[in-house]
Amino acid sequence: MSNPSLVRLQKFLARHTTYGSRRTCEQLIASGAVRINGQPAHLGQSVDPEHDRVEVDGRTVVPKKSGVYVLYNKPRGVLCTFADEPGETTLTDVIRRMKLPVRVFSVGRLDADAEGLLLLTDDGTLAERLTHPRFGVSRTYEVGLNQSLTPEVAERVRRLRSLRPFVLPKSRQAQAEGRADMRPPRRDAFRDTRPQRITPPKILDGVGGRHVRILLKEGRQREVKRIFAEVGLRVEYLRRVGFGPLRLKDLPPGAWRTLSRAEIEELKSENS
């Protein structure tokens, strides 16, 4: 069984050092400057921040203490990336305006054309646990469809156990908008094109109409869009309103707030 406390080495270095992005840290690892428990590190390796000793050029990396938890209502058009995207608004721009005391990252992501609840934190251990499928942390979405969800089609959604693989469009704009091409993938599109198993979705309300609420137990890539594409429907509006015990409530688009101590404790107990 995989250990959810493990973190990719380049991700660990990007969070707890000032060397830069994950890609920069990958180059650092490849150069031979990094050691784990006294042994040379290599690309693809993972570490346990609580038990492994990581060194860069002979200096021990001391994991930063976690303590920032921000709930952000992401508007449409904001890209969930920390890469430089000229002419686009990214999470880097948003976080810069927040003026937080430490570097944070997003727990999961939302497509550019989606909106809603996004958790930002510097707590890497919690983030790994919240996104690990083993713990089944719930995500609740409000979905607008191109046509009504009939009871018969809703039952087909509830019985879904797997999703077809999909091909990402080549253009950067199409990728940013998060459109999934549901045509059969090219043979060389993925190393593994087998159907992806999922936990059956739960439709909370809205059957018979075009606006529904759906609860998922994992965060597969573009999962909501792919679920409804499986039954011949297209998602025209997507808003995440719940993540584990957290609720978006009346927080305006583009606004953010820090979590209360009670919310943080509840979030941590969600997967303990």
Query: Could you list the active site residues?
Result: 111
Q: Please give the Cα distance from 20 to 176 (Å, whole number).
A: 23
Which residue, 117, 132, 129, 73, is CA-closest to 98? 73
Q: How many CB atoms lie within 10 A of CB 237?
A: 16
245 contact partners, CB below 8 Å, separation of at least 6? 263, 266, 267, 270
Q: Please give the Cα distance from 124 to 130 (Å, whole number).
A: 10
Asked if 79 and 217 count as a contact pair (C-beta separation under 8 A), the reply is no
Asked if 181 and 194 count as a contact pair (C-beta separation under 8 A), the reply is no
Asked if 216 and 201 count as a contact pair (C-beta separation under 8 A), the reply is yes
4 contact partners, CB below 8 Å, separation of at least 6? 128, 129, 132, 134, 135
Asked if 124 and 15 count as a contact pair (C-beta separation under 8 A), the reply is yes
Q: Between helices 9-16 and 22-30, what is the axis angle to 10°?
A: 120
